[in-house]
Structure 1
Amino acid sequence: MTTHACPGVSMDQLDIDVSADVEALYTDGITARKGAFTPEWADRLREDIEKAFAEAMARPGGAVGRGPNRYYVEIHPEQLRGFVDLVDHPWVRSLCTAVLGPDYRIVELGFDVPLKGAVNQPWHRDFPMPEETRRERRLTSLAFNVTGVDTEKDMGPFEIAPGTQWDDSPEFAHDMFPPKSHYRRYEELAVRKYPRRGDISCRTALAIHRGTKNESAKSRPVLVLGVDGPEAHNGDRHDTAVTRAFWESLPERVRRHLDCPVVDELEPVTQKHTIEGLVMGDA
C-alpha cells in the first residue's frame, strides 16, 4: 500500500488494490476508473438527472447558479436508481477506505449541468483548505464524478491543474479563488478531461479546476458524490435525506457510511451549497 494511505488501513480491508489511485490523488489530485459501469447504466443516470433538473428548475431555490447557463442541484439518494451501484462499487468503496479510513461518510449527492452558452468558470477550489491538509498534507474528503454523456471537446469539458491541491496563498479570495495573476500557471498546467459514459473519476476538490465554455448545443450533466473522512465537515453544506423504507432497503455496509437524516417523507432540497464567485461567470 502506498505511504499516502490512511494510517491503520491494511490491504485486506480493501476489495481491490487502489494504491496507484491513491498515489495519483496525492500527486495529480485526480484519478479515474474507465468503464466502471456500462453505457446503458450511464444512460439511466442521465434520465434521472434530467428528471431531477426539470423539477428543480420549476421551483424557487431548486437549483443554484454556477455562472451563466450553469447549474448545480443537490438530490436525495432515492432519486437516483443507480445510487447503491455507485456507492457500493468496489473501486469507490476501496478508494474511500484507503484515503479516508474505514469510517468515511457519504455527505453529498448532486449534479452539475453546463448548458449551451456556459462560459469559463474562474479557477477555483470547492472549499477552503482544511487545517489537516495544510499542516499534514493529508486529504480529508473526496469528490467522485460520473458523466451522463460522452464528453466532446466543444461541450465545455472539466479542466484541472494537476498538483495544485497543495497551493496555499493569502491572496486566494474566500480561501478558494486564486487571483488572476496566478492564472497563467494554471493554464500552463491545465488538463481537460473527456470521460465517456460509464467512467468514474475521483479527485480532491482542493485541486484548482474549472468548467470551460460550452460551445455546443448540448448539455453536459455530471453527477457529484461527496465523501468525507471523520474530521471533515462538508456535510454541513448539504441536506441529503432518505425515507425509512429506502434506508431499510440498503445493504448494511452502505447504511454504515450514509450520513443523513432518515425521514418519513422527503422534502425537496433547497440549495445552499453556493460557491462564492462562480456566479460572476467568465473570469
Structure 2
Amino acid sequence: MTATNDTKPAPSMSMSADAPATTTDTGAPINATPYADPQYDVPSIMAALYGDGILGLKGAFPREWVAKLDEELAVLYRAALARPGGAVGRGTNRHYVEIHPEDISGFLDLVTHPWVRTVCECVLGPNYKVVEIGFDVPNPGAKDQPWHRDFRAGEETLVDRRLNSLAFNLTAVDTEEDMGPFEIAPGTQWDDPSEYDHGMFPPQSLYPRYQARAQRKYPKMGDISVRSALTIHRGTANVSQKPRPVLVLGVDAPGAGHDAWHDLQLTRGYYDRLPQEVRDHLICRVVDELEPIMQGHTIEGLMMGDA
C-alpha cells in the first residue's frame, strides 16, 4: 500500500558563498528575505547561479560525517552493481545509482543544512521540492565525457530566463587532479540548444567555446556545491587507481516535473519521523517496504561513448 506526498571563487569551488550579512548597530543581522538564513548573502547566491551556474560552500560538513557517507556509498554501489538495472552507465567505467533517502545516515543533515535550504528557497522559491538522491562514481579508467547538459532546457529557461531546478553535489573523497575532476563551462546554462543532439549534447564545433571557459573543480571532503544541470559540463578522465564517488541531490521548483524521472521512496516509519518542514519539501512515495528503484533518468549520449 502506498501513499503519495506531492504538495506542490574558493579554490575548489566557483565562488565563495559566505559573504557577511549586514548587521544593525546592535549586531543583529538584517535580512530582507525572511526564508534565507542571514549568515548567507542572497545576492551572491543569485548572482552565482544565474551567472556562472555553479556555487560552492567549503567545509559545510565535518570530514567524519563525509567518511561515514563514503562507507555507506561503497556498500550501496556494490549492491547496485550486483542487481540488474541497479546502476546506470554514464560512460566508460562510470555509473549513476539512485538511492533511497534512508539508505544513508546523513539525509536529514543534508536537506536541513541552512545553506542548502537558503539556496533552494532563494533560487527555486519557498515551495521547492526534493525529487532525487543518488550518487555518481567515476572509476579508474573512466574517460572524458562529451560536453553535455543533464536534461533539455525548457521554455522557463530559454524564454523566461528562469532556473527551475538545481543539483547539489557533495564529494565523498578529496578530489585530486588524476581522479577525473568535474569540469564546467560557466555561464552556459543560457546557451541556445537548437543545434544540440537531443537538446543536451552540443556539436563538436562548439567545443572550443567550452574548453576556453572550462573550470575544473577540486572539492575536499566536507565541501558542497550547487549548479544548474543545464550548465555545460563533463567528467574528465580518471587516470588514478581510486574511484571518486559524489552524492547528488536533485531539487525542483514547483511544477518543474523532473520527479517523473525518479522514484523517491520512504518507508512510513522513516517518513513519520521526519520534521514536517522536511516532509513539505518532498515529492515521494510513502511505502510499507522499500522497492528497488527502476531508474528513469538515463542519458543515452553518455552511455554510448566518451569524447
| TM class by smaller structure | over 0.9
1:157 aligned to which of 160, 181, 200: 181
2:165 aligned to which of 121, 141, 144: 141
Aligned pair 1:187/2:248, yes or no? no
- Distance, in Å, in 1 between the alignment partners of 2:257 and 2:194 is 22
Matched residue, 1:23: 47
Matched residue, 1:3: none
Matched residue, 1:89: 113
2:135 aligned to which of 107, 111, 126: 111
Identity %, equivalent residues: 61
Displacement of 1:139 in angstroms is 0.3
Aligned pair 1:43/2:67, yes or no? yes
Aligned pair 1:34/2:58, yes or no? yes
What is the correspondence of 1:248-267 to structure 2 with a 5 Å cutoff?
248-267=272-291
Q: Secondary structure at the match of 2:65?
A: helix
Contact 2:193 2:200 in 1 (8 A): no
Give the aligned residue type for 1:165.
Q
| CA-to-aligned-CA distance 1:219-270 (integer Å, 9 cap, x gap) | 0000000000012011110011000000011111111101101000001112
What is the correspondence of 1:195-210 to structure 2 with a 5 Å cutoff?
195-210=219-234
Displacement of 1:130 in angstroms is 1.3
Displacement of 1:279 in angstroms is 1.3
| CA-to-aligned-CA distance 1:107-154 (integer Å, 9 cap, x gap) | 000000000000000100001001111111110000000000000000
TM-score, with length taken from structure 2: 0.88
Contact 1:120 1:281 in 2 (8 A): no
Displacement of 1:189 in angstroms is 0.4
Contact 1:65 1:72 in 2 (8 A): yes
Aligned pair 1:78/2:137, yes or no? no
- Distance, in Å, in 2 between the alignment partners of 1:157 and 1:24 is 20
Matched residue, 1:13: 35
Contact 1:119 1:281 in 2 (8 A): no
- Distance, in Å, in 2 between the alignment partners of 1:193 and 1:84 is 26
| CA-to-aligned-CA distance 1:66-87 (integer Å, 9 cap, x gap) | 0010000000000010000000
- Distance, in Å, in 1 between the alignment partners of 2:193 and 2:35 is 37
Contact 2:268 2:286 in 1 (8 A): yes
Aligned pair 1:241/2:265, yes or no? yes
- Distance, in Å, in 2 between the alignment partners of 1:52 and 1:80 is 9
Q: Secondary structure at the match of 2:249?
A: strand
Runs of 5+ unmatched residues, structure 1: 1-8
May I ask how many residue pairs the two structures share in their alignment? 275
Q: Secondary structure at the match of 1:136?
A: coil
- Distance, in Å, in 2 between the alignment partners of 1:45 and 1:237 is 24
Taking a change above 3 Å as real, the CA distance of residues 158 and 128 of structure 1, as seen in their structure-2 partners, is same
- Distance, in Å, in 1 between the alignment partners of 2:305 and 2:45 is 32
TM-score, with length taken from structure 1: 0.95
Contact 2:261 2:295 in 1 (8 A): no
Matched residue, 1:171: 195
- Distance, in Å, in 2 between the alignment partners of 1:54 and 1:11 is 44
Aligned pair 1:227/2:251, yes or no? yes
Q: Secondary structure at the match of 1:182?
A: helix
Give the aligned residue type for 2:140.
K
Displacement of 1:10 in angstroms is 5.2
- Distance, in Å, in 2 between the alignment partners of 1:48 and 1:10 is 40
| CA-to-aligned-CA distance 1:1-45 (integer Å, 9 cap, x gap) | xxxxxxxx9512212334212210000000011000011111111
Give the aligned residue type for 1:37.
F
